[in-house]
Chain A
Amino acid sequence: MLLTERQRICEDVTAWTHELGSDRSAMLPILQLIQAKYREVSPYSMQVVADQLGIHPVEVYSVVTFFAFLREGTHGKFVIRLCRTITCDMAGKDRIAQQLRNDLGIDFGQTTPDGQFSLEWTSCMGMCDQGPALLVNDQVFTRVTSDMVHDIVEACRRSFGPLAFHSREVKTEVDQ
């Protein structure tokens, strides 16, 4: 890791603890900010968080490893999480999974060599009336079809900033 990157992490975490407080209860929000900005919670950033909150780094490590949305190793810029729970399963998640594998050239649990995409499974994400459902970072996509997989992946590839593309509106009611 470059020294400048370390400095940046240090400055960021210090600023965030100023904002959120240095009580231990600020840990999860701070880790979430680190994850969002750096796409990983590196051992170095865990050490910084521990120093700021006055606890042992292993305490931070134990929290990072508990939560599915926090990661020690680097994630792709776009983390695609496909729901594998029962209603999405019945709605055809296997097809979507295969299309994702084919379009990205990786399997679940892997990251593309260019660091653009990570592919993961997730448990029910509360979109069961509109399955199959998936998340791309924070954005929700529902009633995903094989064609949409292609569109989503291409939109990610074309974009520069994090998620600089427009998702389909997430519908909260079924459109009958």
Chain B
Amino acid sequence: MTSSIMPGLVTFKTIVPNEGLQAALARSRSDVIHEISASKLKGRGGAGFPTGVKWNLAAAACGEPKYIVCNADEGEPGTFKDRVILSEIADIVFEGMTIAAYAIGATKGILYLRGEYTYLRASLEDVLRKRREANLLGDKILGSDLSFDIDIHMGAGAYVCGEETALIESLEGHRGEPRNRPPFPVDTGFQGKPTVVNNVETFVCAAAILGKGAAWFSAIGTEKSSGPKLFSVSGDCDRPGVYEFPLGVTIEQLLDVVGGNNAKAVQVGGASGQCIPAGQFDRAICFEDVSTGGSVIVFGPQRDMLHIAKNFMEFFVEESCGQCTPCREGNAKLLEGIERLEKGQCSMAYLNELCRLGEVMQLSSKCGLGQSSPNAFLSIVKHFREELMGRPHPATR
């Protein structure tokens, strides 16, 4: 890996449009799912659930019609790769959705696009129109027995709607509040019907796998984290942007390429991810070590880690849906604690108490938002304790 790697899509640009779809339609549905399972593709939206397993469950679930939902809510701070995918290779995303529809027997697809990306909508509608004209969407696609079409739904400014059950709630015309899981969307999804929700990049990977084969895909990356992955890199580095690396790349290697070698710490996985200090830059970004949906935020030596923790906590206080107590109250309490630390008024005992509260939130919150909102704070406390404690009180400064 050399530092001549430039930002942008690499492997994904080599995908021949509709090669994957044609290959899929020539095979049986179970064969298609088998190919995805064999590739060991895991979801690119953050949680890393095996896509083959998800499709298999939805295929086996009873209920008609079935739905394919593409999650383009991309709200995780520091993530913007889906925006680049949708700007440059939207056609492949829709192809991947069509392959998924064939695999599970779905007839309707929905692209859930975040409100902030409204400016992309016209061009996406255009791509859809062209696909309809080419019989790549609509009735009897390419002469097969598959009938499938895709609508675009806009989000309206709520991070939590990226959570798949909250997304479905909002599609159904309710507040975007996460549901209890189980039941999972694969059997009780949109309108109570079997629904596959996948990330934008996951659908692109699926199209690539059907076109180039599972073996090609699983040869890239590590044993448990196969394939190429897009990273959204921002913050204190020379060349922020979207990069493609095989999963398993170390933080050090990544920083070399983006020009962020003097970093003090890196936030991997966005606000809900973890903060990795310079001493651990030899760690690998993949599902078995530092897991991420692709967000990498670089912090230079001049950055105040408490300020960063505060910014993340403010984000969660704002974005919590308020449905369950650990998250609604816990985030506010942690933010209050951070403000105490800022004023140099936090005892060690209280800080330990805050960390315990964070652990309780991880265990008892209803959805992934509250379960992961303390991560950034906890990892910053763990690695930068000395920097946080004993700040001079503003009045005495």
Q: Which A positions have Cβ atoms within 8 angstroms of B?
A: 23-29, 31-32, 53, 62-63, 66-70, 84-87, 89-90, 122-131, 135, 138-140, 170, 172-174, 176
Q: Are A69 and B115 also in contact (CB < 8 A) when A28-B171, A123-B319, A129-B234 are?
A: yes
Q: List 10 A-B contacts (CB under 8 A).
A: A31-B156, A67-B157, A68-B156, A86-B77, A86-B78, A123-B75, A124-B76, A125-B116, A126-B75, A172-B88
A122 vs B303: C-alpha distance when bound (angstroms): 22
Choose among B78, B80, B299 the residue with the greatest number of A CB atoms under 10 Å from its CB.
B80
Give chain B residues whose Cβ lies under 8 Å from the Cβ of A123: 75, 77, 159, 315, 318-319
> Known interface pairs A69-B156, A128-B80, A131-B234. Does A89 touch B311 (Cβ–Cβ under 8 Å)?
yes
Q: Most B CB atoms within 10 A — which of A23, A27, A84, A129?
A: A129
- Chain B residues whose CB sits within 8 angstroms of the CB of A127 once the complex forms: 80, 83
Interface string of B161-176 (1 = CB under 8 A from A): 0000000001111111
For chain B, residues 1 to 41, give those with C-beta under 8 angstroms from any C-beta of chain A: 6-8
Q: How far is the CA of A131 from the CA of B115 in the complex (A)?
A: 18
Q: Is the CB of A138 within 8 A of B88?
A: no
Report A-chain residues with C-beta under 8 Å of the C-beta of B239: 174, 176
Interface size for B (C-beta < 8 A) is: 58
Contacts of B127-161 to chain A: CB distance below 8 A: 153-154, 156-159
Q: How far is the CB of B1 from chain A (nearest CB, A)?
A: 18
Q: Give per-residue flags for B336-375: 1 if the beta carbon is below 8 A from chain A beta carbons, else 0.
A: 0000000000000000000000000000000000000000
Please, how many angstroms separate the alpha-carbon atoms of A172 and B308 in the complex?
26
Q: Compute how far the CA of A27 lies from the CA of B159 in the bound complex, rounded to whole angstroms.
A: 19
B170 with A86: CB separation less than 8 A: no
Q: Are B79 and A126 in contact (CB under 8 A)?
A: yes
Chain B: which residue is nearest A122 at the CB level?
B157
- Contact mask for chain B residues 82-124; partner A; CB cutoff 8 A; 1 contact, 0 none: 1110011000000000000000000000000011111100000
The answer on a CB contact under 8 Å between B311 and A173 is no
Decide if B201 is an interface residue (CB 8 Å cutoff).
no
The residues of B that contact A27 with a CB separation of less than 8 Å are 173
Is the beta-carbon distance between B242 and A139 smaller than 8 angstroms?
A: no
Decide: B119 and A139 in contact? CB cutoff 8 A: yes
CA of A138 to CA of B156 in the docked complex: distance in angstroms?
Answer: 11
Q: Please judge, given known A-B contacts A123-B75, A128-B80, whether A173 and B236 are in contact too, CB under 8 Å.
A: no
Encoded as 1 (CB less than 8 Å from any A CB) or 0, chain B from 265 to 285 comes to 001000100000000000000
**Residues in B neighbouring A26, C-beta threshold 8 A:** 173
Contact with A along B296-311 (1 / 0, CB 8 A): 0101000100001001
Are B171 and A25 in contact, CB atoms less than 8 angstroms apart? yes
Chain A residue with Cβ nearest B191? A25
Which residues of chain B come closer than 8 Å to A53, judged between CB atoms?
A: 173
CB-CB < 8 A to B117: which residues of A?
A: 126
| CB closest residue in chain A, given B170 | A28
Closest to A175 in B: B241
Asked if B235 lies at the interface with its beta carbon under 8 angstroms from chain A, I say yes
Interface of B: prevailing SS: mixed
What's the nearest-Cβ distance from chain A to residue B269, in Å? 13
Instruction: Decide yes or no whether B232 CB sits under 8 A from chain A.
Output: yes
- B residues in contact with A31, CB < 8 Å: 156
B244 proximal to A (CB < 8 A): no
Which residues from A are CB-within-8-Å of B79? Answer: 124, 126, 128
- Give B118's nearest chain A residue, CB to CB: A138
Chain A residues with CB under 8 A of B236:
90
Q: A27-B173, A138-B118, A172-B84 are in contact. Are A124 and B77 (CB under 8 A)?
A: yes
Query: Taking A27-B173, A128-B232 as contacts, is the C-beta distance between A85 and B311 under 8 angstroms?
Result: yes
Quote the shortest CB–CB distance from A169 to chain B (angstroms): 10
Measured CA separation A161–B260 after assembly (Å): 44
| Inter-chain contact A63/B173, CB cutoff 8 Å | yes
**Complex Cα gap A14–B88 (Å):** 37
Decide: A176 and B156 in contact? CB cutoff 8 A: no
**Residue B240 at the chain A interface, CB threshold 8 Å:** yes
- Shortest CB-to-CB span from A129 to chain B, Å, is 4
A171 CB to closest chain B CB, in angstroms? 9
Contact yes or no, A129 B175, CB < 8 A: no
- B114 x A28 contact (CB < 8 A): no
Interface status of B187 (Cβ within 8 A of chain A)? no
**Would A90 and B235 count as touching, CB distance under 8 A?**
yes
Not counting A87-B297, A123-B75, A129-B232, a sample of 20 additional A-B residue pairs whose C-beta atoms are within 8 angstroms of each other reads A31-B156, A63-B174, A70-B156, A90-B235, A122-B157, A123-B77, A123-B318, A124-B78, A124-B79, A126-B79, A126-B83, A128-B78, A128-B297, A129-B241, A138-B118, A138-B119, A170-B119, A172-B83, A174-B241, A176-B239
Give complex CA distance A139, B233 in Å.
Answer: 23
B residues 289-329 in Cβ contact with A at 8 Å: 297, 299, 303, 308, 311-312, 314-315, 318-319, 321
Min Cβ gap A66→B in Å is 4
Please measure, in the bound complex, the distance between the C-alpha atom of A25 and the C-alpha atom of B175, giving whole angstroms: 11
* Docked CA distance A166–B217 (Å): 42
In this complex, what residue of A is CB-closest to B322?
A66
Assess the A29–B80 pair: CB atoms within 8 A: no
Q: Are A62 and B157 in contact (CB under 8 A)?
A: no
Query: Which residues of B are found within 8 Å of A86, using beta-carbon distances?
Result: 77-78, 235, 267, 271, 297, 308, 311-312, 315
